[in-house]
Structure formats: structure tokens, C-alpha cells
Amino acid sequence: MALTRRHFLKTMGVATGVGLAGDHLFSPAFADGKGPDQAAMTIPTYCEICFWKCGAMARVVDGHVVKLEGNPLHPNSRGKLCARGNAGMGLLYDPDRLKSPMISTGARGEGKFKKASWDEAFNYTAEKMLKIKKTYGPEAMALFAHGCAGSICQHMISAYGSPNIVMPSFAQCRGPRDVGYEVTFGMGPSSPERVDLVNSKVVVLFGSHLGENMHNSQVQDFAESVARGAKYIVVDPRFSIAAGKAEHWLPVRPGSDTALILAWINLIIQNGWHDKAYLDRYATGLPELTASVKQYTPEWAEKETDIPAATIVETARLMGLYKPAVCIHPGRHASWYGNDVQRARAMAILTAVLGSWGREGGLFLPTKASLPKIEGKPYPAMRDSVSQMSKYPFAGAEGLTNEVRQATITGKPYPIKGWIVTGTNLMKTLPNQKETLEAIKKLDLLVAVDVMPFDTVMLADVILPECSYLERFDDLAVGRGRSLGVSIRKAAVKPLYDTKDGYSIASGLAQRLGVGEYFPVPTLEEKIQQTCKHWNLSYDELSTKGFIGIPNTASPYITPENQPHFETPSGKIELVSSELKRKGFDPVPRYAPQPQPPAGMFRLLYGRSPVHTFSRTTNNPWLYELHKENEVWLNAKKAKEMNVKHGQYVVLVNQDGAKSNRVKAKVTNRIREDAVYIVHGFGTTSKELHKAYLKGADDQGLITQYAIDPICGSTGMRTNFVKIEKEA
């Protein structure tokens, strides 16, 4: 049901004409189409092109979404959408979308499928799951979850009896960051991060590409803070967009960030630039910290980081001068080198010695308010999960994807025989694709729930096509940042093709698995209405506005009346971690240098695009036109030595002989000589993604080696080296 060009122009003409009449489409009188134009409606939603969940309004004409706009009431969008948010229509009307349930008819990965009815697909899946449960126990099924469907499928798989629910967001992304902050402050920095950028005097970024990773509200705050005169210190081997706005760009040697942080902590304490009164009241362990970091002098750090000692001193003085209004941004993707919890710990300690936790311009405190808990039917007793049984004591609640993969290969600590994968492309997420394929070959069942035929989806035994976020209701999204708020996602249009929402998919499977009582409400819309009643919220008001903020729930800064609470064993900020010490780890971070690239090779760095979300949007017709393929950033001096020209196609070959697709060289002075950089998510091998197929280089295919953090079990993936070969 993709729009024809003629119909699209016709509806766009209607939308433009209506738009000229003003903003009345947002008023309740026209929310249900009861106005001058009976066919025009505005439907509230929240975006799912990335995970920021920005509030949006979908303008609908004659049953077609013709425009998406940011909801001005929503704190994550504030009336604006990024390029990805605007391109939600590209996902909705992408001709390559999954259109009906499919069951594999060939060998796994062969790409042979037959179209099936939902009853056939549900029955086939449930039969396999019940057989696995009978033979191996319910824990032999694992769920790899992301997105709203993942959240709903968690309920189903827990009712089935499996504890093995894992999310790449921990082990392959922000897990070590969260653990580092939790053992220091008793809580993580949240997502979205609680960074008070607009009130900061100094902002420090460690490889955090604001302006390129395009997290909407933070980019707005970034722009405002620059306009207000905030001084940015950007620590990054590459001259990023953020570095272009910085007072100081520190092109650090990859892997030496912790050396720089420890030298900063030492300088700040030794020179009395720390917030002593704050630490005396709220922290413990300052004497031991002081003694531990004394060895990390700026002169020593210069040799490790390639940053001049004078610059290290100057930037430390700058932070001390403007404390506590200094924001040490926690970053997001933190799985770099396998010692990542301790790097995050060092960042958290730096935040603490500056007195910036819970202070204006630093990291603000989350709201203390909450909504009434909704009790449901308790889940059956379960065996410990694979993640809980791992040797990593600080594995988070989101689990360890790599440990489930390893258990699938080895059968230890017990067999994993079935995977359900929702909204995550594991072939583009997990390091060492050969291990992922080896695990998949050992499965009795692989089920994919998704909107698009991504690489992992095409390896599945059963494909259950989810409708896009513009075609469905999803659970209410509760934001607990600066204040408490609730967002609604309503179906803007009816589902295209033979697709279903995540709730219907999970419920359909639950009925056949004998656990249908865990889904007592027929539709998610009815469940949302019940939830609103339980929370004493007006469903009609929420359906019109899209977002309701709960008044008088913000308490972002420490005051005499608003004292912080630290859920650490000591009840204070732990500069010396008692939890790490008890588990046999360094209670204060120590620096350990990383291996350097062999001669003729470069460290492989990767990052994000402002118009793409991982590998999930490279086929989006709108976003594809903006960024069709990635490039490899190569230092100009090194390019000259190798006679590589700007725009020339090259091939990357890693230390294990893995080769990339052809990729254009971006010859530039904006990157260190010992590193190359590419945007993550390109080079799909799914032939069903007709635009994105084999476009650009797949960085994940080059990440054959990884280092596991001994504290939390996350996979450090910036441990690979590549050489540049000219295209044959």
C-alpha cells in the first residue's frame, strides 16, 4: 500500500493547504477529524526510529501519514524532530518491509521462505517452544530484546518460565558505564543521561559525538550551551563536530583516556581545585584516592596520551575554576577496550571531586516521584539465568548477550536451544560474527520479530512481522528524568500488509504456550486505558496532547531541603569502591596501557551518523538519500604515504584477515595517524534490503577480536587493527 507519486502529491497538497490554516490541527476539536476537513487528523505518538522516544505528532490525511512533527510538550523533542524522526514515514512506506509471516523452507540462512498465516506461524513457533521446554526446560529459550516489542515479549517469555532475557544495550553499549557510576553514586546516569548542559560552564566529552549521534534533546542543549558560552573539552582521536565547537580538542591516543582522567584527578586534588566541602559531606575515601592517583602526573600522562602536559594542567585548572558547573558527560557506547568499568569509574570520580553530581551545570538528580505500581500475576519460579551464573559479578539486569551466545555454543552452564530476537540485528551488534553464526547453527528454533528484513531476520526459522510504530499502540512511556511524565503512542494508521503489533504477537504466542492468562486484556489500547485509570490520568487528555507532565515532581539539584540519597554500602559517594574491593577488583582505578597498532596497521574506531540508527535505517528511503554509504577516515599524511586519494575506494583487512566491502577513503587531517574511523551499521548482507545491500563497509565484520570486561562482562570492541588495501 505504498503511496503512488500522484496520490502522494495530492495528499501533500491537502496537508500543505491545511497547514497554511494554522495550528488548529493540534486542538482537541480536530483530533478526531471532526472539523472543516473530515479526512485530516493529528495523532500523538513517540518516535521509534531510535531509542530516545521523542514525542511526535503524526498528521494524517485520507488514511496516510503525510507529516511528522515534534510534540512541543514532550521534553525529549520540544517541538523538534531530527532527520531520523522526520523519516518515520520512510519506514512506514518502505517497499522492502516485511509483509506477512514467513516460515523457512530451506537450510538456515539459505533465504528460502514460504508465506504463512498468523495461525500457522504461531502454532509452528509454539510447538517448537513447548518441545524445547519439555526436553531442556523453559530456560533453554532466550530472548534478545530491544524496542517496545522486546518489552512486551519479555512478559511472554517470563510467563513461559525463562530467565534468559538479554539486551545488547548492556554488554555492547552502556553497561560498563552504568556499573561504574552505580558503584560510585549508587545509581547510573540514566538514559537519556541527566546532563545539565544548558547550565554548564565547562563540558567534557570522551568520544561522545554530540551533533553526530543526534540524540534530539541533548543536541538542542548542546547548541544552547555553546550559544551561552560553555567551554567544551573534547577528548577524541578524531576532530568531530563537537570538537569543532570546543575550547580544547585533545586528540588522545586511543585507549589512554583513563590515564588522562587520573592525571586530571591528581591535579585537581593536589592544587586544591576540588570541592572539599562537598566531598567532606557526601563522599568517603578521599585520602586513599589522593594517595592512589599521586603517581599520575601530567608529565607521565603526556607520554601515555600524546597530550602535552601543559594542556593537561590547563584543562584541569579550567574545570577547577568553574566547578561545580562542570558536566563530565558519561557518554553512551562505553564498551571499548575491556577495562571499561574502571574508565567509567574514573569519570564518575572526576565528577565527584568537582562536586558536580546533583549540582546545577553538572548531572542533575532524577525525580523522586513515581506512579503507582500495577501488580500482575506472578511469574513461575525460574532457574538462574546464564548471565547470573557467569563469572562476571556486576552483570546487569539487562543480561549478557555474549554469555547467552557462548552457552548456546557450548551447552554450559546449561543448553540454550531457542532464540527469539526482537528489534535488534545481532549480526550487526555482537562482535565476532562467526561466533554468532556458530551459535545460530546449534539452535532448534530462531524466531525474529521485526519490521524490516535485516541480516539476522533472514537467518530465522520463523519471521513474525511487526507493524511500524506509526501503525500501533504501545505501552505508555514513563519518563523519570528531571520530572515525571507520561507519553502515549497511538496508531496513526491501520497496519499495512499482514502485520501485527508486538502485544498481539506476544499474546498470540502466550495463548498457544498455555500462559494466556498473563495477557488478560485483548488489546493494548484497552490495557492503556486501564493503566490511565489506575494512575488517575485522563486517557482523553493524554490521547490529545500526547504527553502529560506530572506537576511539582522536579527536584534536580541538591539543596538543604533536597538532600541526595546514595544507594552504596556506605550511603555516600564512594571514591574508593567497597563493592569492587569486596569482589577482588581495584577499588580505585589503575591505568593499564593498551596494545598499539602493528606496523602498517591502524586502530579501527567507529561511531554514529546523525541520520542513521545503527544498521536499522540504512535502507530507509529518506535517510538513504542523505547518507547512502559510509567512508573510512584516513589521516592525510598516511594516505599520501600509501598513495590513497580522497574518494578512492579501498578495502579494510583486519589482523585476522577479515575483509570489508569496498569503502570510500575520506582523506583528512581531522584524525590521528594511528587510527581510522568508519560509521557503524553499513554493509548489510540482506539482499531483501534493496537500497542498502552491500553499501559501505561493515565495521562489525572487522571486529573479530574483543576484550571482556572482568567486572561486568561487556565486550570491548575497539581492540581490532586494520590495514588499507586499494580496491583490485
Count the neighbouring beta carbons within 10 Å of the beta carbon of residue 36.
9
Q: Of 723, 710, 724, 722, nearest to 337 (Cα)?
A: 710
Domain presence at residue 356: yes
- Residue with the three cell numbers 574508565: 343
Count the neighbouring beta carbons within 10 Å of the beta carbon of residue 649.
13
342, 260: one domain: yes
352, 441: one domain: no
Q: Of 74, 41, 45, nearest to 482 (Cα)?
A: 74
Q: Of 283, 320, 310, nearest to 588 (Cα)?
A: 283
Q: Which domain CATH number covers 97?
A: 3.40.50.740
H runs (alpha helix) in 271-367:
276-282, 286-293, 298-305, 309-322, 340-353
Beta pairing partners, 142:
419
Half-sphere exposure of 140 (CA within 13 A, CB side): 20
Residues 6+ apart with CB under 8 A from 540: none
- Give yes or no for a cis peptide into 324 (omega within 30° of 0): yes
Rounded Cα distance, 69 and 77, in Å: 9
Residue 667, phi then psi, degrees to nearest 5: -85, 125
- Residue with the three cell numbers 574506531: 605
Beta pairing partners, 549:
485
Rounded Cα distance, 267 and 75, in Å: 37
Q: Of 454, 568, 501, nearest to 181 (Cα)?
A: 568
480, 623: one domain: no
Sign of CA dihedral 346, 359, 266, 670: positive
140, 212: one domain: no
Domain boundary among 555, 590, 616: 555
Domain presence at residue 407: yes
pTM of the entire predicted model: 0.93
546, 571: one domain: no
pLDDT value at residue 22 = 29
Beta pairing partners, 232:
203
Beta strand spans in 430-492 (E): 445-450, 462-465, 474-480, 484-489
Pairing state between β 474-480 and 484-489: antiparallel
Domain presence at residue 370: no
412, 304: one domain: no
Count the neighbouring beta carbons within 10 Å of the beta carbon of residue 267.
23
Domain presence at residue 19: yes
Q: Which domain CATH number covers 720?
A: 2.40.40.20
Cell of residue 506, nine digits:
506476544
153, 178: one domain: no
Domain presence at residue 135: yes
Count the neighbouring beta carbons within 10 Å of the beta carbon of residue 540.
12
Q: Which domain CATH number covers 217?
A: 3.40.228.10
By CB atoms closer than 10 A (0-12, 13-18, 19+), residue 298 is buried
**Structural contact between residues 193 and 348, judged by C-beta atoms closer than 8 angstroms:** no
100, 55: one domain: yes
Rounded Cα distance, 610 and 623, in Å: 10
Rounded Cα distance, 386 and 374, in Å: 28
Amino acid letter for position 450: D
347, 397: one domain: no
Buried b (16+ CB within 10 A) or exposed e, 187-201: bbbbbbbbbbbbbbb
Rounded Cα distance, 333 and 716, in Å: 10
- Residue with the three cell numbers 573534547: 234
- DSSP letter, residue 172: I
157, 177: one domain: no
Domain presence at residue 482: yes
**Domain of 268?**
173-360+567-582
Pairing state between β 165-166 and 202-206: unpaired
Q: Of 38, 78, 75, nearest to 60 (Cα)?
A: 38
pLDDT value at residue 39 = 65
Mean pLDDT by 10 residues, the chain (728 residues): 34 30 30 48 96 96 96 97 96 98 95 97 98 98 93 96 97 97 97 97 95 90 97 98 97 98 98 98 98 98 98 98 98 96 98 98 97 94 97 95 98 98 97 98 98 98 98 96 96 97 97 97 95 97 98 97 97 98 98 96 97 96 97 98 98 98 98 98 97 98 98 98 92
Go through the chain and tell me how many residues it has.
728
Rounded Cα distance, 654 and 602, in Å: 9
Rounded Cα distance, 230 and 200, in Å: 6
Q: What angle is formed at CA 628 by the lines to CA 623 and CA 634, rounded to 5 degrees?
A: 125
Instruction: Check residue 79 and give left, alpha or beta (phi > 0: left; psi -120 to 50: alpha).
Output: left
Rounded Cα distance, 44 and 42, in Å: 7
pLDDT value at residue 40 = 85
Q: Number of structural domains, the chain? A: 3
Residue 17, phi then psi, degrees to nearest 5: -65, -40
353, 404: one domain: no
- Residue with the three cell numbers 540485528: 425
Q: What angle is formed at CA 523 by the lines to CA 520 and CA 527, rounded to 5 degrees?
A: 70
Residue 195, phi then psi, degrees to nearest 5: -95, 125
Domain presence at residue 333: yes
Sign of CA dihedral 497, 501, 505, 508: negative
Domain presence at residue 46: yes
Helix (H, G, I), strand (E, B) or coil at 725: strand
Instruction: Check residue 201 and give left, alpha or beta (phi > 0: left; psi -120 to 50: alpha).
Output: alpha
Buried b (16+ CB within 10 A) or exposed e, 609-628: bbbbbbbbbbbbbbbbeebe
Rounded Cα distance, 88 and 70, in Å: 12
Q: Of 187, 179, 172, nearest to 583 (Cα)?
A: 179
Rounded Cα distance, 357 and 348, in Å: 9
What is the helix (H) or strand (E) element at residue 596, kind and residue range?
none
Sign of CA dihedral 447, 453, 458, 462: positive
548, 476: one domain: yes
Q: What is the 3-state secondary structure (H, E, C) of 698-720?
A: CHHHHCCCCEECCCCCCEECCCC
First to last CA, the chain: 42
Strands lying side by side in the sheet with 248-250: 248-250, 231-235, 202-206, 326-328
What is the helix (H) or strand (E) element at residue 204, kind and residue range?
strand 202-206
Count the neighbouring beta carbons within 10 Å of the beta carbon of residue 365.
20
Rounded Cα distance, 15 and 21, in Å: 10
- Give yes or no for a cis peptide into 551 (omega within 30° of 0): no
Cell of residue 245, nine digits:
565547537
Cell of residue 304, nine digits:
601515555
Rounded Cα distance, 179 and 341, in Å: 6
